[in-house]
Amino acid sequence: MTNNLQLNAEGKLKHFLSIEGLSKSLLIEILDTAESFASMSEQQVKKVPLLRGKTIVNLFFENSTRTRTTFELAATRLSADVINMNIATSATSKGESLLDTIRNLEAMFVDMFVVRHALSGAAHFIAQQTAPHISVINAGDGQHAHPTQAMLDMFTIRQLKPDFSSLRVAIIGDILHSRVARSEIQALNTLGAAEVRVIAPKTLLPAHVESLGVSVSHNLTAGLKDIDVVMMLRLQKERMSSALLPSESEYFKCFGLTEEKLKIAKPDAIVMHPGPINRGVEIDSKVANGPQSVILKQVSNGIAVRMAIMAMAMQTAPGKSPVTGAVQ
């Protein structure tokens, strides 16, 4: 079901909603394509005409300036026209209005929706309902998936540690509410990582978390042993008020990443964080700014990876059969 929706008849990417259902070779194709765009960003001219004349709508039902900006930049560098729609504040988040919004935008000859929504499944729903020529990119839906974040993290890991099969990755923090974690786990498992370990208190782990293909630890000190990649998750402040955690300071004491604790991981381990960081809550500033941190690299890779995904999802124009164009 999921993979059918994401791929077109030729098995090419049509929508990018979730890592689930995508093959290893497709993920690698995304990473390779992103490589091309990454080298481009070091050039004097950072713009290519690939999506010239296309209109991309950033449809954000949930505020996120950072994510929206990287998508906007990626689209602009592909020469597409970008419209930003922030619908986060609108009171009615009923299905009718979501669908009405989509229908209205479709009528304006849009080619792609980049969707961020507070409810799991929103991007799937839009992809199912929208006109067939429109591609949908999931920029984060509820607690379900944030696949572009996962791909940019895979890209960052590959730059530094190209062999996934020997990688042990720890994901630390609020797995229960994290769409990032779900997508990272699926991407790492698809790419064949040796181990994905989640480290969190029970209150922040979903039921049957092992079914996602991870090992589980409730102790950061024990859990960091032999780890090559340390992925920290952002801790939302509202978790304290909903009785999931006693206090920020107790969380930091148990699960906050400090220089001391990082020494337990492999000496060449890298530290990642999807941002924005709560310094002193999930990670010590010294670690976030330290030599093992690749957090800023993640940010800059975000543009190239999103360019690759957007370009790939837009590559097949409907109703046109592929022409052997460039044969000489």
Partner 1 sequence: MIRIDHGRIIDPANNIDRVGSVYIADDKIISVIEEPDNFKPHTVINASGQIICPGFIDLSTRLRDMGHSRKATFKSEVLAAAAAGVTTLCLQPDTVPVVDTPAVAELVKELAEKAGYPQIYAIGALTQKLDGTELSSMLSLKQAGCVAVGNANQPIKNLLILRRAMEYAASHDLLLMFRANDVWLGNNGCAHEGVFATRYGLPSIPEAAETIALAQCLELAELTGCRVHFGQLSCKRSVIKIHQAKKYGLMVSADVAIHQLHLTENDIAPFDSAYHVLPPLRTEADKQYLRQGLADGTLNSICSDHQPHDLDAKLGAFPETEPGMSALETLLPLMLKLVKQHAITLEQGIACLSTNPARVLRLNSGALTPGFPADVCIFDPELDWQVNSQNWKSQGVNTPFWGQTLKGRVTHTLQAGKVIYQL
Partner 2 sequence: MLEIPELLNNLEAELKQLIDQRQLLNPLMLGIRTGGVWIAEQMHTRLAISEPLGLLDISFYRDDFSQIGVNPKVKPSHLPAHIEGRDIILIDDVFYTGRTIRAALNEIFDYGRPNQVILGVLIERDGRQIPLNPDCVGARIILNTGQRIKLTGPEPLTIHLETLAKEA
Binding site for partner 1 (CB under 8 A): 1-2, 20, 93-96, 98-99, 117, 119-122, 124-125, 129, 141-145, 179, 182, 206-209, 211-212
CB of 185 closer than 8 Å to CB of 202: no
Nearer to partner 1, 63 or 315 (CB): 63
Within residues 285-314, the interface with partner 2 by CB under 8 A covers 308, 311-312, 314
Q: Does 47 participate in binding partner 2 (rule CB under 8 A)?
A: yes
Q: Does 9 participate in binding partner 2 (rule CB under 8 A)?
A: no
Only one of the segments 25-33, 137-145, 213-221, 275-283 lies at the binding site for partner 2 (rule: CB under 8 A); that segment is: 25-33
CB of 95 closer than 8 Å to CB of 120: no
Q: Which does 327 bind (CB under 5 to 8 A by kind): partner 2, partner 1, none?
A: partner 2
| Beta bridge partners of residue 168, listed in sequence order | 195
Nearer to partner 2, 291 or 325 (CB): 325
CB of 125 closer than 8 Å to CB of 5: no
Measured CA distances, 271 to 62, 100, 229 (Å): 27, 42, 6
Residues with catalytic function: 66-67, 94, 116, 146
The nearest distance, CB 126 to partner 1, in angstroms, is 9
| Beta bridge partners of residue 16, listed in sequence order | 137
Nearer to partner 1, 48 or 212 (CB): 212
| Ramachandran quadrant class, 208 (left: phi over 0; alpha: psi -120 to 50; beta: rest) | left
Q: Which does 94 bind (CB under 5 to 8 A by kind): partner 1, partner 2, none?
A: partner 1
Q: Helix or strand or coil: residue 275?
A: coil
Alpha carbon distance 12, 262 (integer Å): 40
Among 2, 3, 12, 195, interactor with partner 2 by CB under 8 A: 12
Among 1, 9, 42, 108, interactor with partner 2 by CB under 8 A: 42
Alpha carbon distance 163, 155 (integer Å): 12
Q: Which does 182 bind (CB under 5 to 8 A by kind): partner 2, partner 1, none?
A: partner 1
What single DSSP character describes residue 257?
A: B
The nearest distance, CB 160 to partner 1, in angstroms, is 28
Q: Which does 252 bind (CB under 5 to 8 A by kind): partner 2, partner 1, none?
A: none
Q: Does 63 participate in binding partner 2 (rule CB under 8 A)?
A: no
Among 2, 5, 8, 48, interactor with partner 2 by CB under 8 A: 48
Tokens of 82: 């970008």
Q: Does 315 participate in binding partner 2 (rule CB under 8 A)?
A: yes
Alpha carbon distance 46, 49 (integer Å): 10
- Helices (H) and strands (E) counted in the chain, each on its own, are 13, 9
Element (H, E) at 40: helix 24-40
Alpha carbon distance 40, 36 (integer Å): 6
**Which residues of the shown chain bind partner 2 in the complex (CB under 8 A)?**
12, 29, 32-33, 35-36, 39-40, 42-45, 47-50, 308, 311-312, 314-317, 320, 322-323, 325-328
